[in-house]
Structure 1
């Protein structure tokens, strides 16, 4: 195949990311000459980095994490319908054009990652869902809750002005969404079937303390915390203490990463190989993340 094609996860901070181990294990299983690294990059540097990817001509794709997802949607060449409707990109697929250039396609696998992780955990189907935070991952959380059948979603935010895009996404999806002041969360979260926290590590620690000190009962309720390092998070520990079920964010990472591997393999002309070996790829990715292997039907 020649020199290795390049891939990486972009974000800030990025040192904690488990994506490199997960992706490298997948490409080794697929016998692809794909490298995969991590690049610590904040929003102001993203445009120049994508220009470099276009100029290099030897990239297959990028994983995009906080805080770059919204900006990435503005900078790629085209968007898939999913990424366009969410205005949030967590996956950039790089392909060569007939004139020797590089085309960057923005996609979003976060929604699939959330839905698969929640279904794998046996999350309940109750009328209302809640999202903590209103940023780039929150739009995917709203879409995932809609996909799971929630007719209404409450979005708990500290700054409503920064969550207008999330509300717009909910409207496009036909989901009744309401912005709620974040300080009301501790008293209300036990009333939801599913709660998805899209906040960075440690950001909800004060909320976690309030939940731990409260008399609430979260039995039969499910929390997915996208932050997975450190784990368990204070929020996850408090939720478990009050009787609820917790889905670690690393489960979302696994399933959205599996979708990325399929897309990146296809970019290099290996779609059939990725499909044929999908079960084996999923299991080596589980090994890389320290997760239980999945039965064939998953």
Structure 2
């Protein structure tokens, strides 16, 4: 159990990192939990600088949050990783234990599941995934527990399609591949997960059906995306990137501080306020 008067450090690492909302969310949690001597910062760290940064961590450090491009690069630097992280070969959370071990986990996957559950999505008979990057593999891992039928991935290249099919085989998900040119078909799925960069799905906004299902768009800035705005205009349910960010950060706070449950409402409020100020 974390003590409020014990100085502890945590931070988010990545490149680029200036846009990260993680400090806002974690600091809000510390304030709500009374952890007045805890600090959470951000550091611009790329793959080349990561080993030296990890090596200098002392006993004042409680943990790290990792974003791109470090989620796979960190794995060789750790003493162990969870089954969840291993399933997608991606670590977004490192906890420094009392005996000095570095333990990796992935809170993106349970964070996605929690964000979906919060909006009433606990099971679906099929789903569509837009994109095929690192976030798409986490989406497949999340869907492996809630989707009872096929997941169709819409990708831009055969290589990406092969990767997604490989992840599906590994995760026990029936993945079917379609070309990105057919992405409008994805919008008729009961659950659509958009994992693409900003602007990539804007051209699909006019194709949103009259009675859409649920859209989970992992972006939080800019928000709403063109697709999310069109989805909401047609009365479809929308889960945004801030929902994912808050849920995965809450799990990180619980692991790093030993305090549970994390103050989800205070973290979300802080994130919303920070985004509104940008």
Same fold by TM-score greater than 0.5: yes
Report whether the alignment pairs 1:287 with 2:272: no
Deviation readout 1:229-272 (Å, 9 max, x if unpaired): 1111223223334553211110111111111111001xxxxx3x
Q: Indicate if the aligned counterparts of 2:79 and 2:102 stay in contact, CA closer than 8 A.
A: yes
Report whether the alignment pairs 1:252 with 2:249: no
Return the alpha-carbon distance in structure 2 between the equivalents of residues 256 and 49 of structure 1: 23
Q: Indicate if the aligned counterparts of 1:131 and 1:153 stay in contact, CA closer than 8 A.
A: yes
Shift of 1:213: 3.3
Which residue pairs with 1:132 in the alignment? Answer: 130
The one of 14, 17, 23 aligned to 2:26: 23
Which residue pairs with 1:222 in the alignment? Answer: 214
Return the alpha-carbon distance in structure 1 between the equivalents of residues 90 and 239 of structure 2: 23
Report whether the alignment pairs 1:93 with 2:75: no
Equivalent residues, number: 269
Which residue pairs with 1:296 in the alignment? Answer: none
Match runs of 1:154-173 below 5 Å:
154-162=152-160, 164=162, 166-173=164-171
Which residue pairs with 2:276 in the alignment? Answer: none
Q: Indicate if the aligned counterparts of 1:217 and 1:244 stay in contact, CA closer than 8 A.
A: no
Deviation readout 1:184-240 (Å, 9 max, x if unpaired): 21x2112211111222333x1xx322x2333x4152411111110111122322333
Which residue pairs with 1:213 in the alignment? Answer: 206
Shift of 1:52: 2.8
Relative to the length of structure 1, the TM-score reads 0.81
Return structure 1 stretches of 4+ with deviation > 6 angstroms: none
**Aligned pair in 2 of structure 1 residues 181, 228: CA closer, same or farther (>3 Å)?**
same
Shift of 1:161: 2.7
- Which runs of 5 or more residues in structure 2 are unaligned? 274-278
The one of 196, 202, 218 aligned to 2:193: 196
**Match of 1:36, SS?**
strand
| Superposed CA RMSD | 2.4
**Aligned pair in 2 of structure 1 residues 263, 51: CA closer, same or farther (>3 Å)?**
same
Deviation readout 1:155-210 (Å, 9 max, x if unpaired): 2222443565543332232111123322221x2112211111222333x1xx322x
Relative to the length of structure 2, the TM-score reads 0.86
Shift of 1:112: 1.3
**Aligned pair in 2 of structure 1 residues 135, 76: CA closer, same or farther (>3 Å)?**
farther
**Match of 1:167, SS?**
helix
**Aligned pair in 2 of structure 1 residues 42, 262: CA closer, same or farther (>3 Å)?**
same
